[in-house]
A and B are shown apart, each in its own frame.
Chain A
């Protein structure tokens, strides 16, 4: 099983999911925590992965809705954040245990 080393710019990847520049942008976000631009870029990346998904499964990858939701919660977009967390459990039922726990934390 070849894991194609693929960038956002390439024609349909043969991997299950497309990731845009996720690894670079999320690592830049961690490196400069609190930086507004880094946060904006990460939000845009999540949106790209969700709205312009080009992988063979034609589905949003695991963890993306949830981490996007988490970031939204941290930037005071609570309603949308909770909606994204719930989307994660709809798409990936195995995430239920964990996401329920997180939702409880924020609904307190």
Chain B
């Protein structure tokens, strides 16, 4: 039930944000994909522009799932991170404007995915998490940006289930909100952000839609979305996560 709510709210939010401007077809917005037909993607270490030191590592482990689900071969993230570190190539910012051919030679990559974390903020009492992440796919052959989107996502955990009529009720509501915001798994937020942004990625080699989605609408290049955190951090996940972190 929660999943359906989440899917609907995604779809609804994306539709709403699209209504105000004309959307290009994917074949136009992402023509590099349809011209080159890339097969494999190298995930570059996320570029963290925030004061939140943990943002980068929390985000890194969520990126390969949507890429693989879109039909791409994703170069193994743990292995590739290790090799990048050994080659002193871990600071992806150094490569944003540099030639990428070496990554084709070493990793067999056709595309490099750069992510820039612009914002990653938690306001526990308000119950909101705000993230702003930019995704850039660059062709390793041509060094051109073939896909670029930037999304601001608000995850709203504000717990309105408790009565506002008594001080105790208000306090319980505040605490529940703070706890849920604190426990809302960073991986969950990362996943939600990825899905919201990458839902318009052209279908890769292993997808049955490969080559057939050229006329579908690409999303807006810059967008905002609000997600109900109660749907994102389902009870099972929050409980699992809090049990796991307590065992430290």
Residues of A participating in the B interface, judged by any CB pair closer than 8 Å? 1-7, 9-10, 15-17, 19, 21-24, 26-28, 30-32, 37, 57, 61-64, 66-67, 70-71, 88, 92, 94-98, 101-102
A residues in contact with B3, CB < 8 Å? 4-7, 10
A-B contact count (CB 8 A): 129
Please give, as numbers and ranges, the residues of chain B lying within 8 Å of A88 by CB-CB distance: 76
Query: Residue A15 contacts which of B54, B69, B73 (CB distance < 8 angstroms)?
Result: B69
Interface residues of B (CB under 8 A from A): 3, 6-7, 10-11, 39-40, 54, 57-58, 60-62, 64-66, 68-80, 82-83, 105-108, 185-188, 190-192, 195, 198-199, 203, 206-207, 209, 213, 216, 234, 236-237, 240-241, 244, 247-248
With a cutoff of 8 Å between Cβ atoms, the chain B residues found around residue A9 in the complex are 236
Output the nearest chain B residue to A24 by Cβ-Cβ distance: B187
In the bound complex, CA of A64 to CA of B68 (Å) = 11
Closest chain B residue, CB of each to CB of A28: B244
Contacts of A67 in B (CB 8 A): 76-79
Nearest CB of A to B122, in Å: 16
Query: Which A residues are CB-close (under 8 A) to B241?
Result: 24
Whether B191 pairs with A17 at a CB distance below 8 angstroms is no
The listed residue (B71, B79, B237) touching A102 by CB distance below 8 A is: B79
